[in-house]
């Protein structure tokens, strides 16, 4: 081979090596990840309708803690343990808004060996799996950074871990009951729409029926009694009953226990003419009660203190105090 040919071959090889080096730098995991900084972590079209969300306590778990499924406009169900419970649309909306708003901040690492210290390995990271129309996205959320308002995150299947300004990890750290809609009465029942409250049962010393006069501003009275009713106490009772929520759903119907004290019953009459019956029975612990309603199949676990603040004894309603 002539000198000229050898020189051309060497130059060509050097050029190829230089191109390969440049391409290796440009397309290295670190450079690719750095160029993605600022992009959304959850790469779903803004118009995509999310049909379900799987929440995993740990990324390595084979089954999610629960699955949130859309059952219609602004309606969700939470599936857990083979059962489906009504879910809170407001809390799910906050989660989805937080996920869509997450941006890739500073690149932290592309080294898998460093993931455990960031809380991003399979045994420590929370994982959320979004199912949308024609798309699926999985996101791992690790520890909070020292700043307190950032989290370590990474998209499943990508090597890079980023910092992002977010509180999604706090939501994913909640138990199943956090996602349930545990409001006892229908959401259209407000304190001002309640016209009557009857409290009775063998465990109630003084049963009574509290009634409101015509309209939401009508005066309260106790049926069959002449004593004046404290209007502030009566209105507060209606408001608190309308806002009453459980702590959780009972996973199995409460069994009657020999020697257990009797429960009581609260009947609420609404301005729409509907009647809602709440039946309260003792729970396994003194501070936990079971509550069933006439309008839904669920049994709620209710804090006894919350219930005592919502259902007043007769003596608290009588008299202008």
SS (HEC) of the chain: CCHHHHHHHHHHHHHHHHHHHHHHHHCCHHHHHHHHCCCECCCCCCCCCEEEEEEECCCCCCCCCEEEEEEECCEEEEEECCEEEEECHHHHHHHHHHHHCCECCCEEECCHHHCHHHCCCCCCCEEEEEEECCEEEEEEEEEECCCCCEEEEEECCCCCEEEEECCHHHHHCCCHHHHECCECCCCCCCHHHEEEEEEECCCCCCCEEEEECCCCCCCEEECCCCCCECHHHHHHHHHHHHHCECCEECCCCCCCCCCCCCCEEEEEEECCCCEEEEEEEECCCCCEEEEEECCCCCEEEEEHHHHHHHCCCHHHHECCC
Q: Rounded CA gap, 45 and 248, in Å?
A: 34
pLDDT in tens, 68-96: 999 888 899 999 888 899 999 999 999 99
Q: Which of 47-51, 213-217, 304-308 has the lowest mean pLDDT?
A: 213-217
Of 306, 252, 236, the C-alpha closest to 278 is: 306
Cα–Cα distances in angstroms (integers) from residue 65 to residues 4, 83, 111, 321, in the given order: 70, 12, 28, 49
Q: What is the pLDDT of residue 24?
A: 45
pLDDT beyond 80 at 11:
no
The fold of 191-317 is Immunoglobulin-like (2.60.40)
Q: Where are the domains of the chain?
A: 50-179, 191-317
Contacts of 292 (CB under 8 A, 6+ apart): 278, 279, 281, 298, 299, 300
Residue reference for tokens 């039946």: 279
Average pLDDT of the chain? 84
Q: What is the pLDDT of residue 46?
A: 64
Contacts of 197 (CB under 8 A, 6+ apart): 209, 210, 237, 238, 241, 266, 267, 268, 269
Q: What is the pLDDT of residue 252?
A: 73
pLDDT in tens, 152-200: 999 988 899 999 998 999 999 999 999 999 999 998 999 999 999 999 9
Q: What is the pLDDT of residue 7?
A: 46
Q: Which structure tokens are listed for 124?
A: 């420590």
Number of neighbouring beta carbons within 10 Å of residue 105: 19
pLDDT beyond 80 at 20:
no
**34 compared with 134, residue with greater pLDDT:** 134
Q: What is the pLDDT of residue 217?
A: 58
Please state the rounded mean pLDDT for residues 13-33: 44
pLDDT in tens, 240-256: 999 999 999 998 766 55
* Cα Dmax for the chain: 122
Q: Which structure tokens are listed for 180?
A: 């349930």
Of 243, 286, 282, the C-alpha closest to 264 is: 282
User: pTM of the full predicted structure?
Assistant: 0.79
Of 257, 239, 253, the C-alpha closest to 291 is: 253
Contacts of 42 (CB under 8 A, 6+ apart): 99, 100, 102, 130, 137, 139
């Amino acid at each position: 081979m002539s000198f000229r040919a050898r020189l051309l071959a060497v130059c060509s090889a050097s050029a190829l090596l230089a191109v390969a080096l440049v391409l290796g730098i440009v397309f290295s995991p670190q450079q690719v990840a750095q160029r993605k900084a600022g992009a959304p972590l959850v790469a779903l079209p803004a118009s995509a309708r999310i049909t379900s969300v799987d929440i995993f306590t740990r990324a390595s778990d084979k089954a999610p803690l629960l699955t949130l499924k859309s059952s219609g406009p602004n309606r969700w169900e939470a599936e857990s343990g083979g059962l489906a419970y009504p879910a809170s649309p407001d809390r799910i909306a906050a989660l989805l808004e937080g996920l869509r708003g997450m941006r890739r901040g500073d690149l932290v690492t592309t080294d898998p060996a460093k993931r455990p210290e960031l809380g991003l390995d399979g045994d420590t990271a929370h994982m959320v799996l979004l199912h949308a129309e024609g798309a699926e996205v999985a996101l791992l959320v690790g520890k909070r950074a020292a700043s307190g308002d950032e989290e370590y995150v990474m998209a499943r299947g990508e090597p890079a871990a980023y910092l992002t300004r977010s509180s999604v990890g706090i939501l994913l750290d909640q138990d199943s009951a956090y996602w349930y809609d545990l409001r006892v009465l229908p959401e259209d029942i407000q304190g001002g729409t309640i016209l009557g409250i009857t409290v009775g049962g063998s465990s109630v010393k003084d049963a009574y029926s509290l009634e409101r006069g015509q309209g939401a501003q009508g005066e309260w009275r106790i049926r069959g009694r002449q004593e004046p009713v404290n209007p502030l106490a009566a209105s507060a009772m209606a408001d608190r009953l309308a806002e009453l929520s459980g702590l959780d759903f009972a996973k199995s119907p409460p069994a009657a226990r020999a020697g257990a004290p009797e429960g009581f019953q609260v009947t609420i009459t609404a301005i729409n003419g509907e009647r809602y019956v709440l039946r309260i029975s003792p729970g396994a612990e003194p501070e936990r009660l079971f509550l069933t309603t006439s309008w839904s199949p669920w049994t709620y676990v209710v804090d006894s203190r919350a219930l005592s603040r919502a259902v007043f004894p007769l003596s608290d309603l009588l008299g202008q105090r």
